[in-house]
Amino acid sequence: MQYPEPIAKLIDSYTKLPGIGIKTATRLAFYTVNMAEEDVTHFAQSLISAKRDLKFCSICGNLTEEDPCAICTDDTRNQGTVLVVEEVKDLMALENTNEYHGLYHVLHGVLSPLAGQGPDDINIESLVTRLQKNEKIEEVIVGTNANAEGEATAMYLSRLLKPAGIRVSRLATGLSVGSDIDYADEITLIKSVEGRTQM
């Protein structure tokens, strides 16, 4: 059976989301059609607002409405430590532990030679510039995922930053190998920050 065009377009839109197959997309589309018009309008406005109103912080790469972001402008945070993560969702996961109180830097990816992604394709150059301009920063904690690409990125950052006299450490292996930071529970994340080791 062929769906009416508005439903077909909605199903197609949902299938563009990660992890959403045709069956789930169809279920979501019909659920959306049965929602109150006010809820659908609010949902649509939230999608548009997230796309239009958010930008990346010019200092750390975090998602923000105001540039620089609230973390970078917070003078109460430890200005001597920068925790480097792959994605904004990793920053959010670590921030939700309320255990780490330093600064962040978001790479927006990792080194992946097989995928053709090198140092120029992720947010490394701005990290180096930031460290050169800010003498207060004494330690960089590498918080990339514990998989092949994350480890390669961590080793690259270590070799790049150590000659500048900056202490480089790595989140402890409380995170299981092959896992993603944003899926870890808060206790695991806390132990990872507490038990970080120098590289």
**Rg for the chain, CA atoms, rounded:** 20
pLDDT at 182: 84
Sequence-separated (6 or more) residues with CB below 8 Å from residue 127: 82, 84, 105, 107, 140, 157
Domain containing 182 equals 63-198
Q: How many domains does the chain have?
A: 2
pLDDT at 83: 98
- CATH number for the domain harbouring residue 156: 3.40.1360.10
**Are 29 and 111 members of one domain?**
no
**Are 83 and 145 members of one domain?**
yes
Judge whether 58 lies within some domain.
no
pLDDT at 189: 82
pLDDT at 174: 65
Q: Please give the model's pTM, rounded to 2 decimal places.
A: 0.82
User: If the chain, 199 residues long, is cut into consecutive pieces of 10 residues, what is the mean pLDDT of each piece?
Assistant: 92 97 97 97 96 96 96 96 97 95 97 91 94 92 91 94 91 74 80 76
